[in-house]
Amino acid sequence: MDVAVLVVGAGPTGLALAAMLGRTGVPVRVIDKAVGRSQQSKALGVHAGTLEALSDVFGVGLPARMVATGQPVRAVHFHLGDRQPIAVDLGGLPSPYNFVLVLPQGETERLLAEQAAAFNVAVDWNHELAALRQDGDGVQCEVRRPDGGIELVRAAYVVGCDGAHSEVRHQVGAGFAGGSYPGTFLLADVSLDWGPGYGDLGHDSVRFFSTEAGAMAFFPLKDPDQATLGPTLCRLVLIPKGDAPAAEAEVDLAVFTTLARAVSGLPLVLEEAAWLTRFTIHHRMVKRLRHGRVFLAGDAAHIHSAAGGQGMNTGIQDALNLGARLTEALRRGPRGRKDEGVLDRYAQDRLPVARGVLRGTDLISRVGLLADGWWGRLLRRHILPLVIGTPFLRRRIALTLSQLPVSRQERPVRLAALD
Ligand SMILES: Cc1cc2nc3c(=O)[nH]c(=O)nc-3n(C[C@H](O)[C@H](O)[C@H](O)COP(=O)(O)OP(=O)(O)OC[C@H]3O[C@@H](n4cnc5c(N)ncnc54)[C@H](O)[C@@H]3O)c2cc1C
């Protein structure tokens, strides 16, 4: 056996797993086909449940570094049609992390990689899993090296943290059932001025707009260099209706600005796009997280709408649960021979969580982002204000999105692995 666990993919899921196994002393190797860490800001929201889970495993230092790097946000404002915005305060979340931490994914990955490195676990970049075959004792993997040659790696267990197009998932023949949402999603990391007379909207709250013209979300980003980018660096995600650009049309900052003004009804001034892209969203998941000695985690196992910022958080918590189960199994013997019950519990814990996240994000997307016509008007004018305005429902939604209940339920699993 070359290594106990081979982790395929060094996104947030793979890095969290690698750091956890480093922490519990399990021999682990991490490979990634990319040449280096992604700089993209993709997932922005780190929730309280994830910060508590990371704190359980690595101590308060890691979440403290994440909080210091990002921007804790304690309020969400809903702008529904032409009503006055409704404010939701997250300060009541029952956690020391009573906020959503807005932190670009690239930074989350950097800090997780540093945590893994503290346990002498480094990523082998430019190493691609090409094929795998398992037998009763382990998994034989073919890994393509930077020079194009194939290295054979034998591991007791392999974990596919290799994202939505997972090769590990293909290799074990797992299906990925689901579908795609209609509509064009546009994303821009820009410098924003709310426009004359709207400066008091400020920069310390997440804002969500839903109008006849579409939906838009605003996330404040911590400005690394105010001198060049202005005081209001932010992420805007836009789902225009009606006049949405055709799939093949190029979207530049001018087109984006016109659409963002139409959706928000505000005279926004946008400058200096650091990242401008369009994407489609899908909802898919596997039926099984375990295929013998091969496991799937994060986007390799489930993808869904970004509404509610659940994807990366779910992946990191998959990783910490699986890390604990693998640690326990390997403690029972060098090849985890008596592992069956322990390792099956990963799927027993996490498959229902993934299903719940898919259902919840699907509901938010259909109700909050994509609803159109009379149904959209009914939602904006009556149903959403009623739901958001009801303290009990508001608290429940905020608590579910924070992932605190699931994280706390799994805490004993994580702590047992550290003994
Ligand atoms: C535009 C955009 C915006 C998003 N916004 C949000 C958001 O606001 N909130 C949120 O929670 N989520 C968001 N997401 C989703 C979030 O980015 C993912 O949930 C998250 O990246 C999943 O992490 P992961 O580690 O499971 O997979 P990934 O981040 O996809 O990492 C997979 C890694 O595996 C590597 N790999 C792939 N194949 C192989 C192979 N054969 N061999 C070796 N390595 C391999 C890849 O190079 C990659 O580094 C967004 C995604 C996009 C695209």
User: For residue 226, what is the domain's CATH number?
Assistant: 3.30.70.2450
Helices 311-331 + 340-364 axis angle, to 10:
170
pLDDT at site 309:
86
Q: Which residues of the chain, if any, have pLDDT below 50? A: 227-230
Determine how β-strand 100-102 pairs with β-strand 71-73: antiparallel
- Let me know whether 369 and 402 are in one domain: yes
Determine how β-strand 302-303 pairs with β-strand 282-285: antiparallel
- Let me know whether 175 and 58 are in one domain: yes
- Let me know whether 153 and 226 are in one domain: no
Domain count, the chain: 2
- Let me know whether 275 and 329 are in one domain: no
Nearest to 122, CA basis, from 40, 19, 24: 19
Q: Which residues line ligand 1 (CB under 6 A)?
A: 8-14, 31-34, 42-45, 105, 128-129, 161-163, 167, 187, 279, 298-299, 306, 309-313, 315
Residue 308: give the domain boundaries: 3-73+101-180+283-382+391-418
The answer to whether residue 34 is domain-embedded is: yes
CB 8 within 8 A of CB 159: yes
What predicted TM-score, i.e. pTM, was given to this entire model? 0.94
The answer to whether residue 51 is domain-embedded is: yes
User: Which sign does the torsion angle of CA 101, 178, 288, 355 carry?
Assistant: positive
Q: From CA 269, how far away is CA 246, in angstroms rounded?
A: 24
CB 273 within 8 A of CB 137: no
CB 125 within 8 A of CB 38: no
CATH of the domain at 399: 3.50.50.60
DSSP state of 201: G
Q: Of the candidates 249, 280, 311, which is a domain's last residue? A: 280
pLDDT at site 20:
98
Q: From CA 42, how far away is CA 385, in angstroms rounded?
A: 29
CB atoms < 10 A from the CB of 397, how many?
17
Residue 127 alpha carbon, nearest atom of ligand 1: 43
pLDDT at site 243:
64
The residue contributing the CA closest to ligand 1 atom 27 is 163
**Which residues neighbour 118 within 8 Å (Cβ) at sequence distance 6 or greater?**
19, 22
pLDDT at site 57:
98
Q: From CA 276, how far away is CA 190, in angstroms rounded?
A: 8
- Let me know whether 176 and 189 are in one domain: no
Helices (H) and strands (E) in the chain, counts: 13, 21
pLDDT at site 374:
78
Kindly state the helix (H) or strand (E) to which residue 355 belongs, with its residue range. Answer: helix 340-364
For the record, the structure tokens of 407 come out as 């994280």
Instruction: Report the largest interatomic distance among the alpha carbons of the chain, rounded to a whole angstrom.
Output: 69
CA of 242 to the centre of ligand 1 (A): 30
The answer to whether residue 89 is domain-embedded is: no
